[in-house]
Structure 1
Amino acid sequence: MVDDRPAARDDHWRHAGDRIEDLLDASSAGGPVARERAEQLVGELVELYGAGLRRVVELLDDAAVARLAGDELVASLLIVHGLHPDDLPTRVRSALDSVRPYLGSHGGDVRLVGVEDGVVRLELSGSCRGCPSSSVTLELAVEEAVRASAPEIDRIEVVAAQDGSTSQVIPAETLFTRVHAGPAASWVEVPELAELRPGEVAGYVVAGQALLACRVGENLLVYRDSCPACGRSLAGAQLHRRPGHPVGDAVLRCPTCRAHYDAVHAGDRLDGDGHLLPLPVLVRDGLPTVAVPALEPTG
């Protein structure tokens, strides 16, 4: 029985390709002929639904098609059948725009250099002051956003920004190695985050881990709920604006040890060493989604 809750439905269709592949593998037990017929059946169904989807698109105006393309599931089907209204570079740029506020909170930015033969080349610039985990969280957010909007790409290459006019390509085999070498992160939908109003701070338990979220203006920021200075929870913390600083300045103060952290700039500590652990946040179909790292094994 399929769970009919929205989040469960989304997770169900995202893994549909894996289930189809498993069924095709199972059909191989009947021999190569059975496998071939199963693949032919899948192909016929894909063509049938593709033809129907094409007919639907032809009957709609451009505004309606654009609304369809704004839904992640429908967009993926439009891409499969070559019906998406936006070309590949446009979709990649939109994906980068969706994570640019998050990158800005880390003092970074990203630019599309080009797309050719299934390879997306990006230029990452800037870095988070005092935040060694910044590069990992930035890469994770960028990779997820780009692959969600452009699933047909083969790989992503990063061009490191240089002071001069030349750029240095980071080899593809080293791309995101720090992300994938560490504990895997799972993107988890947290609908409650959408209810946070500007200036509010709240705690959540997501995938068994305590998180702290706050909204500064339109930006949603999420951190692991642990003060690096004292190791205690930040439950009860509030956002403060420092005297003389512009609108948008936001500081979190630990209720236990009174350590101060810059909520806008990746949780950098303002009165000592250390920083909060920021977690990437993306919005999918209007629902906030957080990359929650796997728990480190104990023992």
Structure 2
Amino acid sequence: MKVLEEDFTTLAERVDRALASIRDMPESEREKAMELKKSIEAFHELALRKIVRALRETEAGKEVLLKVVEDPAVYAVLLMHGIIKQDLFTRVATVIEEVRPYMQSHGGDVELVKVEGNTVYVRLNGACSGCSLSAVTLKRSVEEAIKARVPEIEYVLMAKDELASGFMPPGIVGADVDLEQSGWVQGPPTSELEEARPVRVVHDEYDLLVVRVDGKVMAFRNSCPHMGLPLHKGLVDGTVLVCPGHGFRFDLTSGECLTAPYVQLEPFPVRVEDHRVWMRLD
């Protein structure tokens, strides 16, 4: 099989070189050469379609067809002529591989999780998952590439286990850094965060409130800006946290106080890395 794969690669390279030389021809000669190419391909396609049609007529023939299609050379030729088509997952995966270098150049990465109907689910890693702004930008790039190349896809969504930072000032940290050496401290694993259920985290003199809301992780000082009372035992109604002291209401997606607009929860930068929450405290 190794020899066949090497032969296939060599032949493909010969085709590429021949096409490159055709592009350098004068226009009149190039048109003749391309017409010859199209005529030969049309002849081959007609013959191949008859072979495939005949094989599909019997169960034994279908088994032979499935076996020979496993050969990369046979698969490539049948694919080129449109006799077989890549499944939707493979087509999306091909696009993902094409955009991955761009993602990696920005300190992130993207993983194809699954394709269901007209919806693609992806998981963003690295800087893509740690910074809400870059995550939006890079996810949009992936979404646009997939929809352009695979028009059957209408939606590109984060996988359910994908969490993004809810507050991450631009430029505060780059990709591929040692978080512990850069002023970040470990928070709880994402598996311990239930939607809209605050978790108290105490680190040295810092008393923090960590909460997962709408697929984002937020971290605030565990102190009501009204009277300084702790908030972790407050009631949560949807995305609104009610202070157990005097009933001040706070929007957990932003920290904004809905009771008194002049006060707001103090947020801390958050980064989600390898299914764990990291917080920048200084």
TM-score over 0.5 (shorter chain): no
Question: Which TM-score applies when normalising by structure 2?
Answer: 0.41
Question: Which TM-score applies when normalising by structure 1?
Answer: 0.39
